[in-house]
């Protein structure tokens, strides 16, 4: 028995000594080279982009932790709640874990699956089938340990599939990072929008109080015959308009809070909510740098590149299908016609069953190979498109950054001019020099200018958040 075992182990040793070098050295995956970037190496230039290179020279967005970018303590706490409780981010993390488990399953195909099998067989044979010519009961008991149908990966088919699974897992991990960046920026945007809407609500309440005061004055003037009924109705219309603005911004405030609760995955404590834009601490200035190569480190671009690598690895698996496949089934154990003799001397049993499958004519193999090549071209196109979209997002944010300061300065000057015009019109009306229509025009122009200034200030802050997001910022 020992001699047989030694011979058997020697055969296996020689077999594996031959197999493992092949397993480590053969791959039909095409060599991967990162495609050239389909966008300009530098950011756009021109009047719209003047001053956009100014910013933090120590930190680029993709290296700047979000806590260093969002300096407001309340906003930081809300973002922390969102990172813990947001369901979309949780789903992205679970998808990443699932992809990692699938990669583990695919990689495990390289190794044999060792199984232990115990069999008890008993059957009655009729006389015409029995070797003795008489009816008999045949019994066989066996216990074996071995592996069944282990495919020896001579031509890298399994390794190609494992590489594809690995790249898909890495793509899912980058998708999780992208979801995290999107969540952080979305919380910042909604937080700032709430601050702006609350500031607009304060302005609407203040305007309503002013209009109600004006209406009372004009009504008294109407009662004594100084003002006409038309002036009284115009004043009433301004009060009603201001009441509508108060209701509208009250509604927007509630919608913003609901959106913030959804992003945070829980009810945000009222103490963390902003009162107005002036109360929000400024965001940290950042710069995109001089080269657009920073886009290649964006999570969505990296995820798209991993998908391209996965499609490239799939070509290797399709190529391997043209070559023979070898499967091995082995087992060693004991067998006996009687259960009591199962572990006695001389009961050793073993099997060694190699199997080779050679493709001779299978049109599906050629179609599958063509499919993988087209799939790679699709992945390449999607990768290039992702880079182009990323470039456009950054260019748009830089264009806003380069012009919004000028717009804010112009709007501030406009607000000051309308404030002066309103004061002068009101004084001239009280003296009887002008009619009330000019006062109404000055009031409407001033209110529109004040609301426009808040809108531009919100645009500036939100664009800053957008620039941080599109440059790949948001690391923990």
Element holding 104 (H helix, E strand): helix 87-108
Is 229 buried (19+), middle (13-18) or exposed (0-12) by CB count in 10 A?
exposed
For the structural domain made of 27-111+155-322+381-470, what CATH number should be given?
1.20.1600.10
Element holding 356 (H helix, E strand): strand 348-357
Max intra-chain CA distance, the chain: 135
Parallel, antiparallel, or unpaired: how do β-strands 348-357 and 136-152 relate? unpaired
C-beta neighbour count of 332 within 10 angstroms: 17
pLDDT-above-70 percentage for the chain: 88
Element holding 333 (H helix, E strand): strand 325-336
C-beta neighbour count of 53 within 10 angstroms: 15
For residue range 34-69, what is the model confidence (pLDDT) as tens digits?
A: 999 999 988 888 888 887 765 554 456 667 889 989
Q: What is the pLDDT of residue 60?
A: 64
Q: What is the pLDDT of residue 38?
A: 92
Q: Which of these, 443, 358, 336, 463, lies nearest to 403 by C-alpha position?
A: 463
Check pLDDT > 50 for residue 8.
Answer: no
Distance CA 383, CA 301 (A): 7
Q: What is the pLDDT of residue 1?
A: 46
> Where are the domains positioned within the chain?
27-111+155-322+381-470
Model pTM score: 0.84
Please identify which residue in the block is written with the tokens 């717009």.
Answer: 407
Rg (CA), the chain: 38
For residue range 264-303, what is the model confidence (pLDDT) as tens digits?
A: 999 999 999 999 999 999 998 888 877 888 888 899 999 9
Q: What is the pLDDT of residue 26?
A: 66
Strand ranges across the sheet with 325-336: 114-125, 136-152, 325-336, 348-357
């Amino acid at each position: 028995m020992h001699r047989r075992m030694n011979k058997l182990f020697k055969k296996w040793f020689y077999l594996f000594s031959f197999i493992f070098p092949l397993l480590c050295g053969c791959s039909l995956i095409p060599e991967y080279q990162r495609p050239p970037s389909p966008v300009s190496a530098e950011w756009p230039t021109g009047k719209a982009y003047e001053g956009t290179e100014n910013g933090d020279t120590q930190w680029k967005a993709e290296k700047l932790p979000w806590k260093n970018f969002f300096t407001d303590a309340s906003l930081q706490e809300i973002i922390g709640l969102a990172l813990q409780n947001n369901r979309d981010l949780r789903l992205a993390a679970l998808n990443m874990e699932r992809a990692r488990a699938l990669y583990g399953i695919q990689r495990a195909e390289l190794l044999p699956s060792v199984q232990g099998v115990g069999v008890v067989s008993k059957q009655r044979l009729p006389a015409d089938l029995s070797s003795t010519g008489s009816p008999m009961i045949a019994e066989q008991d066996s216990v074996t340990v071995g592996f069944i149908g282990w495919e020896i990966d001579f031509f890298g088919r399994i390794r190609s599939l494992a590489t594809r699974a690995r790249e898909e897992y890495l793509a899912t991990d980058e998708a999780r990072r992208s979801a995290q960046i999107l969540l952080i920026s979305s919380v910042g945007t909604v937080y700032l929008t709430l601050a702006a809407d609350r500031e607009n609500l304060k302005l609407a309440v203040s305007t309503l109080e002013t209009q109600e005061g004006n209406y009372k004055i004009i009504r008294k003037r109407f009662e004594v015959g100084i003002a006409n009924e038309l002036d009284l109705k115009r004043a009433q219309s301004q009060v009603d308009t201001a009441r509508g603005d108060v209701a509208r911004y009250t509604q927007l405030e509630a919608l913003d809070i609901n959106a913030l609760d959804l992003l945070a995955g829980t009810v945000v404590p009222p103490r963390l909510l902003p009162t107005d834009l002036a109360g929000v601490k400024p965001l940290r200035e950042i710069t995109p740098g001089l080269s657009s190569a920073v886009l290649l480190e964006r999570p969505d671009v990296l995820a798209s590149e991993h998908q391209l690598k996965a499609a490239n690895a799939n070509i290797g698996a399709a190529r391997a299908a043209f070559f023979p496949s070898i499967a091995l089934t082995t087992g060693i154990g004991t067998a006996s016609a009687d259960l009591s003799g199962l572990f006695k001397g001389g009961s050793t049993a073993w099997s060694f069953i190699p199997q080779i499958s050679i493709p001779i004519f299978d049109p599906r193999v050629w179609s599958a190979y063509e499919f993988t090549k087209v799939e790679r071209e699709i992945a390449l196109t999607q990768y290039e498109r992702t880079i182009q979209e990323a470039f456009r997002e950054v260019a748009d944010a830089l264009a806003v950054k380069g012009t919004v300061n000028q717009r804010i300065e112009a709007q501030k000057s406009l607000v000051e001019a309308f404030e002066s015009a309103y004061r002068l019109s009101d004084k001239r009306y009280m003296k009887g020099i002008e009619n009330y229509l000019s006062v109404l025009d000055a009031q409407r122009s001033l209110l529109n200018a004040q609301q426009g200034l808040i809108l531009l200030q919100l645009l500036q802050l939100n664009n800053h958040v957008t620039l941080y997001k599109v440059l790949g910022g948001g690391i923990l």
